[in-house]
C-alpha cells in the first residue's frame, strides 16, 4: 500500500488481495499477511521521520484467533548510518541483501495482550538502553517481525491498526 505518506509492504505478500491500507485507515478492518516463517511488515514514512517513544497494535480479527503472540518491533538504522535507505522489502535477517540494518527496539514473547476481538495495546520503547539507535534518533522505516506462530499456530500477521508515537521531524502530515 502506498498512500504517498506511508508505504506498507510485506515480505510474504498480502492475503486475499489486501494491500495494507487497513493498517492506516482508522477503521476496524481485518488485515492478513500471507503465511510464512519470518513474515514481516515494513512501514516506510515518506517525507518525514519519527523519534519513537511508543507504538500500538490492534488485533485484526473479530475473534481471538490469529493474534500476535511473539514479535519484534524494529527500526532501520540505514538512514541513521548512511543518510538514506535503499529499497523497502528486506530479508528478516538483521543484515539484508541491500545492506540495510535493523535494530530491535521492542521484543515480545508469549504476549497475550492482543488475544481478543480487535484488542489494542500500547508498548513503550526504551531507546536509552541501546547504543544504536540512540535516544533522540529519528527514523522513517519500521517493521514488525513475527518471531513464533500466532495464537492459531500460523506464521501470519493479523492486524487492524499500527500507530507509532513520538516526535515528528520533516513535513508535517496527518495520517
| Residues contacting 10, CB < 8 A, separation 6+ | 20, 33, 34, 39, 40, 41, 42, 89, 157
Is the model's pLDDT at 41 over the cut of 50?
yes
pLDDT tens by residue, 50-105? 989 899 999 988 888 999 999 999 998 764 443 333 333 333 334 333 446 888 99
d(CA 160, CA 41): 13
What local confidence, expressed as pLDDT, does residue 64 receive? 86
pLDDT tens by residue, 20-29? 555 555 666 6
- How do strand 120-124 and strand 158-170 relate by DSSP bridges? unpaired
Is the model's pLDDT at 142 over the cut of 90?
yes
Please, what are the domains in the chain? Answer: 6-167 (2.60.120.260)
The residue behind cell 504476549 is 111
Helix then strand then coil, in percent of the chain rounded to 5, is 10, 40, 55
Other CB atoms within 10 A of residue 150 CB: 24
pTM: 0.76
d(CA 73, CA 113): 15
**Bigger pLDDT: 163 vs 87:** 163
Q: Taking Cα atoms as reference points, which of 113, 111, 91 lies closest to residue 101?
A: 91
* 79 three-class SS: helix
Can you say how many angstroms the Cα of residue 129 is from the centroid of all Cα atoms in its chain?
Answer: 20
The residue behind cell 500500547 is 122
Share of the chain above pLDDT 90, in %: 30
What local confidence, expressed as pLDDT, does residue 15 receive? 59
Amino acid at each position: 500500500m502506498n498512500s504517498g505518506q506511508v508505504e506498507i509492504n510485506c515480505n510474504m505478500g498480502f492475503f486475499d488481495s489486501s494491500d495494507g491500507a487497513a493498517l492506516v485507515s482508522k477503521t476496524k478492518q481485518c488485515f492478513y499477511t500471507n503465511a510464512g516463517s519470518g513474515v514481516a511488515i515494513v512501514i516506510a514514512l515518506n517525507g518525514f521521520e519519527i523519534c519513537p517513544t511508543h507504538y500500538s497494535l490492534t488485533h485484526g480479527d473479530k475473534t481471538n484467533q490469529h493474534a500476535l503472540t511473539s514479535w519484534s518491533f524494529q527500526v532501520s538504522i540505514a538512514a541513521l548510518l548512511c543518510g538514506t535507505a535503499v529499497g523497502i522489502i528486506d530479508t528478516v535477517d538483521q543484515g539484508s541483501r541491500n545492506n540495510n540494518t535493523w535494530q530491535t527496539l521492542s521484543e515480545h514473547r508469549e504476549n497475550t495482550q492482543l488475544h481478543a476481538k480487535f484488542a489494542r495495546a500500547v508498548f513503550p520503547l526504551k531507546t536509552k538502553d541501546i547504543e544504536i539507535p540512540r535516544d533522540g534518533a529519528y527514523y522513517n522505516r519500521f517493521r514488525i517481525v513475527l518471531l513464533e506462530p500466532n495464537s492459531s499456530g500460523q506464521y501470519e500477521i493479523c492486524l487492524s491498526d499500527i500507530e507509532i508515537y513520538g516526535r515528528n521531524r520533516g513535513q508535517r502530515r496527518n495520517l
